[in-house]
Structure 1
Amino acid sequence: MNAPLTVIHARTLTLDDATPEVQAVLVGGGRVLAMGRADDLRALAPRAEVLDHRDSLLTPGLCDAHIHLVMYGASLTEVNLAGARSVAEVQAKVAQRAMTQPAGTWIRGGGFLLSELGLTDYPSAALLDEVSPHHPVLLYSRDHHMTWVNSAALRVAGVTDRTPDPADGKVVRPLGCLLEGASELVVAHLPEPTDAEWLAHARAGAEDLAARGFVSAHTMAYEEAGAPRALQTLAAGGELPLRIWACLPHGRLEHARELGLALAPGGLFQWGGVKFFADGALGSRTAWLHTPGFADGSGTGIALDPPELIVERGRQAIDLGLTPVTHAIGDRANTEVLDAYDQLRPAAHARGIRLRIEHAQHLRPQDIPRFRGLTASVQPIHLQADAAMIRTLLPHLEAGSYAFKSLQGAGAILALGSDAPVAPPDVRANFAAAVTRVGDDGERLAPGEALNELDVLRAYTRGPAMAAGWDDEGVIRPGARAAFTLWDRLGGNARALVF
């Protein structure tokens, strides 16, 4: 149990322009009470406990501004295919899991990239049948915009060569891969987790994030309804180690209106955003692109939620005080979302809402200035795996890919996240990617878009707080939440310190 008052003695970066660096911080009741010289704070509170961290660096607490938190918790027990370099490696991992499970049990996993597997086309179900004929298998690509399944999974779902493509996706033939909304044909047949399993997944994700130095997170809506319910249950029971800003899928917006759901700040869990998807992703060749599209001739991607829907339901979200939050990766997707947001800006401004684009990965030069006043929620860690693909598939967009410095210069608020379980919530990797711009191939991507370490810290702390409307987070000053990250060095090892 912490003492009623505590002095933290550490070199402290406050991110408060009035007092950017101090020697110590006094906290009590979960709030920052004062900051300044250590001797002065000890004199102010002579009975306070003193935590001596003079060999460490104290900053506002980290926030992962884009994570699927409960899905991430579930992924920690699934087959991990991140970094798999061949189909044979995938087969070996699936076979190993199949040997430990009763026949008929679903095998789930993810994290692979087609390019890293050495594939130029989509893999077939037959490749998974070779190692798992009696277990339904569902494997997510790293971007979660494609699933690779075996014949047993297709049989459970009733998917055949004659199954038509859904409006928002594609059934790849020969059978084996499902793109975008087509994945739901199989996902709908997965066993529904029990309440206890939802709680276990939520607890695992939140505890893992807290152990990495995070004090808060923005969890996105690409999850079943049981996921936010589990987080709310943990919060109500005092078991949630993070502050959560959650997004509602736009398809549930009308139901939310009927229930009277609206922005309700306070506590460790709050609904804050309404989520849309303008397109897919680069690795699955489903990002929505302007002509000429992908350089390998695979087309211009897949458009998902149409702009007119984003405008209509975006207005409904704003009426409830909620933030429209739109996934947009391809350059065409970003153009279309910016056009839609131009129609929403007056209403959002009147409610004090900052419109938000998730990823903003590939941009035309003329669209970057249009981000002024918006939140650009970005994930530098994706650059590492994407760099080589960008040079191969989108050479004409290389200069405008992961354009962090330009977006910042245009007046966008950068909010940095991981997109876990798409990528791990690895603080050091995210810092390195943003500062060095070095991909997994050892080459730098658009080096002029690099951020410095202080820029990254702001995007990991103050940026997410501003995006969520949290005036009391992402900065160290009197009245702020006493939730910090303690570092051995900026961008190095980190741990949370919450009072």
Structure 2
Amino acid sequence: MAAFSPELTVIYATIRTLDDQHPQATAVLVGGGRVLAVGSREEMAALAPRAHVLDHRDLILTPGLAEAHIHLVAYGFSLAELNLHGARSVSEVQARVAQRTMNTPPGTWLRGGGFLLSELGLDEYPAAAVLDEVSPHHPVLLFSRDLHLGWANSLALRLAGIRPDTPDPVGGRIVRPLGTLLESASELVTRVMPVPSEADFLAAAKAGVEDLAGRGYVSAHTMAFEEPEAPRALQTLAARGDLPLRIWACLPHERLEQARELGLACSPGSLFQWGGVKFFADGALGSRTAWLHGPGFAGGSGTGMPLDSPDLIRERGAEALRLGLTPVTHAIGDRANTEVLEVYEALRPLADEKGIRLRIEHAQHLRPEDIPRFRGLTASVQPIHLQADGPMIRELLPHRVDTSYAFRSLKAAGAVLAFGSDAPVAPPEYRANFAAALTRRDDEGQPIAPAEALTEEEILWAHTRGPALAAGWEDEGIIRPGARAAFTLWDRIGGNARALVL
């Protein structure tokens, strides 16, 4: 075989390719952003004797890490917002809000998030009066960690025109006494908040992508639930050559009409591409809005809240498929998953015709009889949430403990697992995903369905190859000739990581 030209690079490392035909190697030859050959150091030296050499023989090289579920620009914004992750009481929330107000001009909006009702010791939804005690002169809106619950003070509610007699919006609920806003009700407040400028969106996009790249990620799936300016900012970064990640983006189903008019369709090839259309079948566990089969939440607190109807998902999902886009549906509760699986059975023939893999986000709490129905679907899951959710699952869904975060069962059923974090709901921390999927232990040290644990190799696959297949990227998440030259270097799998994109 003739030698390659000198404008090439050979990487020496302990290589885990995730290619079943050639699972291990000690060298990889790359050029033009692609893998050209994989093998031993001697073989690569013979192929390209004048290639530049990167010697990482003390490290492990794998396909690049992917973040399969993130709200990327919102995450960028969150890096500068009030962080309530880890708050263990209402008084701790008050202290953090009070500290932020000390350095913020009166009348300026304060936005933050990351708390869990259970971690704050709350059995009921919080009221505005609690925030009023420490922020009477600043409008405040705080989001729960799952983003399905907003907690506002009286000034924010007054500016939004929300009174005790204000009717609930479609798809949302205003809790009385005032203070908590569920699902779409939070939009009554966010719509009166100052609108970020184009420069603000661009700065947040840049902060988000640089943070991910700095953690060792090479690609991300951004999940809508953001303003239209968010994906535009990412597209601007791509056009400028400032995008360090490959992005697969979803648009909300409400914008599907504009997508059709603009001729928007899946167009792989660039670092930014539109790939999915996002639906919400229900809310979330922590906000008590996950849609459940009876008996619902333990203690008789209801069966949650359905959002986008099955008929809507079926109709607009078919339209998305005809455009070459993937229906992507948020489903957390067992009833939500059942309903989405019913819809997807109807959509499967069209999806198969288009070569598109239907996708469910979260798939957290499942009936045993529904798990086999995930065959051939993408289960986009976030192991990191198991850590905080464990105590809530035992309290609120004791009858679903064994089929919550059912990773091994989903894999055995033939689902493609794709791991992410749902940032800014949780930090995009792959170490936490590895720990949760390996140990199945929550923040209290208690096990949650330990039989659902995965191996290190399976977790690596779900953080690399799984997201690539979910996006339809056959050239990603694997190290073989023709694949994208986007790698992650590790001191050990699940340990310290850094991206290497050539």
The TM-score by the shorter chain falls in which range?
over 0.9
Which residue is equivalent to 1:446? 449
Which residue is equivalent to 1:132? 135
Query: Aligned equivalents of 1:471 and 1:330: distance in 2?
Result: 31
Query: Aligned equivalents of 1:240 and 1:296: distance in 2?
Result: 48
Deviation, 1:188, is 1.0
Deviation, 1:139, is 0.3
Deviation, 1:372, is 0.2
Deviation, 1:191, is 1.1
* 1:170 correspondence with 2:154: no
Query: Aligned equivalents of 2:32 and 2:194: distance in 1?
Result: 43
Which residue is equivalent to 2:3? none
Query: Aligned equivalents of 1:427 and 1:181: distance in 2?
Result: 30
Which residue is equivalent to 1:327? 330
* 1:63 correspondence with 2:70: no
Q: TM-score, normalised by structure 2?
A: 0.98
Which residue is equivalent to 1:482? 485
Match 1:357 to one of 347, 350, 360: 360
Q: Alpha-carbon deviations, 1:412-435, whole Å to 9, x = none?
A: 000000000000001111100011
* 1:227 correspondence with 2:238: no
Which residue is equivalent to 1:196? 199
Q: Alpha-carbon deviations, 1:311-370, whole Å to 9, x = none?
A: 000010000000000000000000000001111000000000000000000000000000
Query: Aligned equivalents of 2:437 and 2:47: distance in 1?
Result: 40
Which residue is equivalent to 2:77? 74
Deviation, 1:99, is 1.1
Which residue is equivalent to 1:247? 250
Which residue is equivalent to 1:306? 309
Query: Aligned equivalents of 1:89 and 1:388: distance in 2?
Result: 20
Once the two structures are superposed, the pairs formed by residues 145-160 of structure 1 within 5 Å of their partners are 145-160=148-163
Q: Alpha-carbon deviations, 1:133-155, whole Å to 9, x = none?
A: 11110000000000000011001
Query: Aligned equivalents of 2:305 and 2:63: distance in 1?
Result: 39
The farther-off stretch of 37-46 and 149-158 is: 37-46
Deviation, 1:273, is 0.1
Query: Aligned equivalents of 1:489 and 1:470: distance in 2?
Result: 26
Question: Can you give the 5+ residue segments of structure 1 that lack an aligned partner in the other structure?
Answer: none
Deviation, 1:190, is 1.4
Letter in 2 for 1:348: A
Query: Secondary structure at the residue paired with 1:58?
Result: strand
* 1:8 correspondence with 2:11: yes
Q: Alpha-carbon deviations, 1:119-144, whole Å to 9, x = none?
A: 11111101111111111100000000
Deviation, 1:169, is 1.0
Letter in 1 for 2:194: P
* 1:268 correspondence with 2:280: no
Query: Aligned equivalents of 2:190 and 2:201: distance in 1?
Result: 17
* 1:283 correspondence with 2:286: yes
* 1:470 correspondence with 2:486: no
* 1:407 correspondence with 2:410: yes
Query: Secondary structure at the residue paired with 1:11?
Result: strand
Which residue is equivalent to 2:108? 105
Deviation, 1:43, is 2.2
Q: TM-score, normalised by structure 1?
A: 0.99
Query: Aligned equivalents of 2:237 and 2:263: distance in 1?
Result: 22
Question: Can you give the 5+ residue segments of structure 2 that lack an aligned partner in the other structure?
Answer: 1-5
* 1:119 correspondence with 2:122: yes
Query: Aligned equivalents of 2:294 and 2:374: distance in 1?
Result: 22
Q: Alpha-carbon deviations, 1:149-189, whole Å to 9, x = none?
A: 00110011000001011121110110000001111111111
Query: Secondary structure at the residue paired with 1:273?
Result: strand
Query: Aligned equivalents of 2:58 and 2:218: distance in 1?
Result: 21
* 1:236 correspondence with 2:231: no
Q: Alpha-carbon deviations, 1:188-244, whole Å to 9, x = none?
A: 111111010000000000000000110000000110001000000000000000000
Which residue is equivalent to 1:50? 53
Deviation, 1:296, is 2.5
Query: Aligned equivalents of 2:154 and 2:228: distance in 1?
Result: 28
Which residue is equivalent to 1:35? 38
Q: State percent identity of aligned pairs.
A: 73
Letter in 2 for 1:432: A
After superposing on structure 2, the runs of 4+ consecutive aligned residues of structure 1 that deviate more than 6 Å are: none
Deviation, 1:101, is 1.2
Deviation, 1:47, is 1.4
